[in-house]
Amino acid sequence: MNQQIPEVTLHDGLRIPSIGIGTATLRGIDGVSAISNAIENGYRLIDSAYNYENEGAVGEAIRKTSISRQALRITSKLPGRYHTYQNAVKTIQESLYRANLDYYDLYLIH
């Protein structure tokens, strides 16, 4: 079964679904399974954070499904302790390495 979720357009033109899957505490292999199930069930927006320590599970879940990266909207977040410019750049790079992704669609200041 697969549900269609209506989208919203942000002021920069990016379209994102009205409902996404929250992932705090979804980590490791159970996290991968929960997140990939959500994608198979129709979710296209995935909300993660550096501090959830599950960007790896998010990336793995994406690779396990047949949905293309372009069809997904992936969010992560910059922790308060890394808000300076240099730290922010390194943390975003680290977030990408952890997920093994080329980009995030949204990266929020946590």
The catalytically annotated residue of 52, 82, 104, 107 is 52
Query: Please, what is the minimum distance in Å from the beta carbon of residue 102 to another protein?
Result: 20
Q: Residue 95: name the closest of 62, 63, 65, 56 by CA.
A: 56
Select the span of 20-28, 60-68, 88-96 touching another protein (CB under 8 A).
20-28
Q: What is the CA radius of gyration of the chain?
A: 14
Catalytic residue check, 107: no
* Interatomic CA distance for residues 19 and 3, integer angstroms: 11
109 φ, ψ (degrees, to nearest 5): -80, 110
Residues that bind another protein (CB under 8 A): 1, 3-6, 8, 10-12, 14, 16-26, 30-31, 33-34, 37-38, 41-43, 45, 47, 51, 77, 79-81, 106, 108-110
